[in-house]
Structures are given as structure tokens and as C-alpha cells.
Structure 1
């Protein structure tokens, strides 16, 4: 993957706010919902999402800058680390599971490391002896799973691919958050000598939405309105994470006016309460104003009676 700073078009000294703004700008341009069927836009969106995943997390950014992880978030092994020495035990190396790596043949590894030393008791999850010279419980596996914004908000099923071609549909809880980890009992590495398998841990990464923005449990969205709706007021249809609702626009509204939809935000799983949705209005003129509108504005004396830029003069 390309350097995440280059992907987002920011300097290595960029502030958190610079990174957030750069990502939002690119995400809106390349989001699949706004580019249906465009494979190039979809690939670009995944690339900028992964770059933002690294740079928006202070610890991941620090580790990337220090060379401890690469641009995909994977660990960079020190020189002389095992996997730099070609070949594995019994021809088995390691395999990728999402952005993580896990050893395939743990039995071969433990046999090579410990050999036939006889059975050892105690904890630690393994003991030596038996036909293969060891007895080990399954080890945990970790995965990283990207999920759509609305799946995280509403909950639902999402498919994860496990090693060996196995697939598993997991339940994403309503109100899932970025970085949340789900435990899948018994879906980790298989045990040996009849011992139980380990668990799998799936770290969720929530993809950005084309127009919804989450801030804690609140949702913020910018909604365009016509000049008629802004001046005279009226009821408009507004999207929310739970479906479209009708919203009253007060007469005399302007670009930047903010309206609240109580309880239309994200579920807080700890408190059981929902956040709110804040709707920021944006007055949008028709692309091709008709003759009647042009004629009205030419004769409208009130349009010449105020200067909306007057407050800017003190800064020039």
C-alpha cells in the first residue's frame, strides 16, 4: 500500500484536524454510494479509508512513523525475525488472516521447539508427550473487519473469511463502534489431542458514510433545501440512520441553520440511550433559474438593502 500521508495528500507534520478534513474531502468524492458501479472509486475509497485508519489513531500513527508497523497496520518484524529465515517447520510457514498473520502448523512449531521431552504438567495451555510429543489447546486468532456505517449503526450480519476458506456470518450489534472487538468462541486455532480450539477476536473498523457523520452518539448531516423552503418554511423528507423522517423547516431559515431530531442518533450500548441527529441546512439554488425567478430578483429592492459580507470587512 502507498504511504498513507501520500494517499490523503497531507504532510507528515499534518495536524489531526488536517488529516480529518483531508479524509472527509476524499471520502465524499470516492464513496461507493456516490459512484455506483465504479470499481476504481471503490478501490480508492478502500485505500483512503485504510490510510485514515492509520493516521487518525495517534498510537498507530506513532508506530507507523517509528517503522513499527507498515502502511496496512501490520507489524514490521525486526531483522533476523523468524519469518525472515525462509522456510517453515515441515514446509509450513504462516498465512495471512485479514491484515494479521498467524502460524498455520502450530504442532510442527512446538515439536521443533521442544522435541520429545516427555509430558509436562501445569498451566500454559500445553503439555508434552503423546504421539506427537505435545498436547496444546487452540490459540486465539485476531482479525480486522471493515463494516459499512449503517451496519454498525443498525446492527446486522456481516461475513468474515477465516483461514482455510471457511466463512462465518457474525452478528454486528446495533451501535457498534470503530475499534470495538467481538469475541467468537471456539473459532480460533484448533487444539491438539482433543483439546478445545481457541477463540477468535474480530476488531471492527467502521467505514465512513457518504453524508452521515458520527460524533460520539450524535449524527450530523447537511441537507440541501430550496430557496422557497428556506424563505417560506415547510416539511421536508430527511434521511436518518433508522430511515427517512419528515422535518419542519422554519420560515426564514438560512444556510447553516441547525435543527435537531431528538433520539435519531446512535445507540449507546452502555446506557441504552440514543443520541440525536443534527440537520444543518444548506440553501441551494436551482442549476438553471427560470425566467420568473430572474425577473423577480431583478425587481426585488430588498436584495440590494443588505450586505451579507459586511462582517468580513474587519478582517481585511
Structure 2
């Protein structure tokens, strides 16, 4: 015995029969060699079966709990014997059948039904129609394409190295990380079985102007000093189309203006908002006339933005 049977199944020594069976079913499903192709899967599966075979039987479990690794040398709970009786050791190996490790109803594991345990995996391996495998690919969209949605034609490389065009209906407001499934566009089925699906993982390209946070869209709104001071109506482009933003008078850089419901659409709920953050900009170079006007403004203005701070 390479390891304590309780440790092999990952259960405490106080585990009840149903806990032992649940642990065994989970591990057996994971390590069955017809499912798990790891090099040590067969040995692990055999070890799991041996542990369950011993602990699932009250007689052998009692001897194991008392004598540990030497439990096979004891029979009837007391006398030492060169051979153990009853279910004192692992059962014989799996009976011949489908696959290298027995058929769907192999005797390994007592009352465990392998057809149920592996969820019909063996049925899928039998000859006959079977659904094709699903394929996955990434679908890159601009923010504007994600906001507006609509039909797009995308060219994707197939597993055989060739390319193919697909018509994709992009729902308005799709978010990064969501998936669009194209039914029947995966691998061909076997022996007349239905094809698999193509799953497109949406990726939204970073944008130099707009920042997407959930379904809210943020961007910087440059305004002139006069627009910030006097207020203005500013027409700007957004991913969903042009809008007019009202800049209140006396707006300083950092002020955030919200346009409710103008962000990313939500087909099933409330759309996001559009947030414009004021950025007061000054010209890098001034003409002599404009310079004089700024000088006059500075001379008569009683505004002190650093009062009480510096």
C-alpha cells in the first residue's frame, strides 16, 4: 500500500459510507484511464479502486482501521492467517470489455455504475453518430462596433490552417469577455452526427479616446477658458453617435458631466452612462492681440484660485 487509504480518497477516518462513495466517484471519474491520458492515471485509478474496495466494505474497513497496512493478514477480526477471507483485498482486475479498463459495467468499485459515473462517455466512444467538437476563437471589436452591434463578416483561421468568412450578429452592448455562439459552425460530426458549435470570445480593442468601465463610457472633454468660464454647448462624437453637451458656466478641469443612458446599451437592463470630464485648455501660443486681452482680464479679475491653499 503506497499511501493511507483515507488519504487516497481524501476523506477523514470518520467518514461515513456515503462520503466515501462520493469521494470515490469523483476521483474515479477524474482518473479513469479511458478519460485521463496522464501517464500515471492507470496507477492512480487502481490505487483509488483498491482504497474504495477496502473502505466500502464494513468487514475489511474494520480490519484496516485496526491493523492498517497489515489488514490482509487478519481474518474474522482476530486470528492471523496466511490468507485473508471475504472481501479482504482488492477485487480481481476488470473483466474484458470495451476499452483497456473494462466495459461500462465493470465490477471495479462494487456497486458503482460506470455508465452513470462517466456520464455516457463510453457511449460516445462506441461506433455510431456523434456530435462534432466545439471550436473557439476571439472576436475583436472596436468600442463603436460593440456599442452599436449589427451584422459583421469576420474571417477566422480554421484548425486545418485555411480561412473562412463567418456572418456574425453582434448584439448591441456586448462586453469584453462575453461569448457569441454560432450553432453548427464547429467541427463536423462523426458518421452523420451533428456538427459542433463555434464560440466567439469577444475582445474590445483599447480606445485612445474612450474608457469603458462596466457599461459606463468615460472620456475627456477639452474646452477653452471662455467656454469653461461662460458656459457653452459643445457638440462631440461618441461611440453611439454625435451628442451635444451643455458645459455649465464656471466649470473647472476635473468636473464630470453625466449623460444618463448614453453609455453602453444593455439588452436586458439599464444602459450605462456617458461621462465627460472637463479639461480646460489654453492655446500654446498667443497672438499679440489675444495676449493683451488676457493681460487686461488678469488685471481686472478678482478670482484667486489658490486662495487658502498656497
**Residue 292 of structure 1 aligns to a residue in which SS?**
helix
| Cα distance, 1:253–1:305 mapped onto 2, change above 3 Å | closer
| Cα distance, 1:305–1:278 mapped onto 2, change above 3 Å | closer
1:146 has 2:140 as partner: yes
My pick for the range that moved more, 295-304 or 228-237, is 295-304
- Bigger-Rg structure (1/2): 2
The alignment of Structure 1 onto Structure 2 pairs a total of residues equal to: 197
Partner residue, 1:184: 182
**Shift in Å, 1:168:** 0.6
Q: For 1:236 and 1:244, how far apart are their aligned partners in 2? A: 10
Answer whether contact 2:153 2:165 (CA < 8 A) is retained: no
Matches within 5 A, 1:153-232: 153-156=147-150, 157-163=152-158, 164-232=162-230
**Shift in Å, 1:310:** 5.5
Q: Note the aligned Cα RMSD (angstroms).
A: 3.2
- Large movers: runs of 4+ above 6 Å: none
**Shift in Å, 1:308:** 3.0
**Residue 227 of structure 2 aligns to a residue in which SS?**
helix
Deviations 1:9-40 (A, max 9, x none): xxxxxxxxxxxxxxxxxxxxxxxxxxxxxxxx
**Shift in Å, 1:138:** 0.5
Matches within 5 A, 1:12-31: none
Instruction: From 283, 293, 296, give the equivalent of 2:293.
Output: 296
Answer whether contact 1:160 1:169 (CA < 8 A) is retained: no
**Shift in Å, 1:127:** 4.3
**Residue 304 of structure 2 aligns to a residue in which SS?**
coil
Q: For 1:309 and 1:179, how far apart are their aligned partners in 2? A: 48
**Shift in Å, 1:158:** 4.5
**Residue 218 of structure 2 aligns to a residue in which SS?**
strand
Q: For 1:216 and 1:302, how far apart are their aligned partners in 2? A: 46
Unaligned runs of 5+ in 1: 1-78, 81-113
Matches within 5 A, 1:1-316: 123-124=120-121, 126-129=124-127, 135-156=129-150, 157-163=152-158, 164-271=162-269, 273-299=270-296, 300-302=298-300, 306-308=304-306, 311=309, 313=310
Q: For 1:172 and 1:137, how far apart are their aligned partners in 2? A: 26
Partner residue, 1:3: none
Deviations 1:212-234 (A, max 9, x none): 11222211111111112112212
Q: For 2:198 and 2:304, how far apart are their aligned partners in 1? A: 64
| Cα distance, 1:307–1:234 mapped onto 2, change above 3 Å | closer
**Shift in Å, 1:305:** 5.7
Deviations 1:72-108 (A, max 9, x none): xxxxxxx99xxxxxxxxxxxxxxxxxxxxxxxxxxxx
Q: For 1:305 and 1:224, how far apart are their aligned partners in 2? A: 22
**Residue 178 of structure 1 aligns to a residue in which SS?**
coil
**Residue 290 of structure 2 aligns to a residue in which SS?**
helix
**Residue 147 of structure 2 aligns to a residue in which SS?**
helix
Q: For 2:275 and 2:145, how far apart are their aligned partners in 1? A: 20
**Shift in Å, 1:293:** 2.1
**Residue 126 of structure 1 aligns to a residue in which SS?**
helix
**Shift in Å, 1:136:** 3.3
Partner residue, 1:101: none
**Residue 192 of structure 2 aligns to a residue in which SS?**
coil
TM-score (norm 1): 0.55
| Cα distance, 1:308–1:195 mapped onto 2, change above 3 Å | same
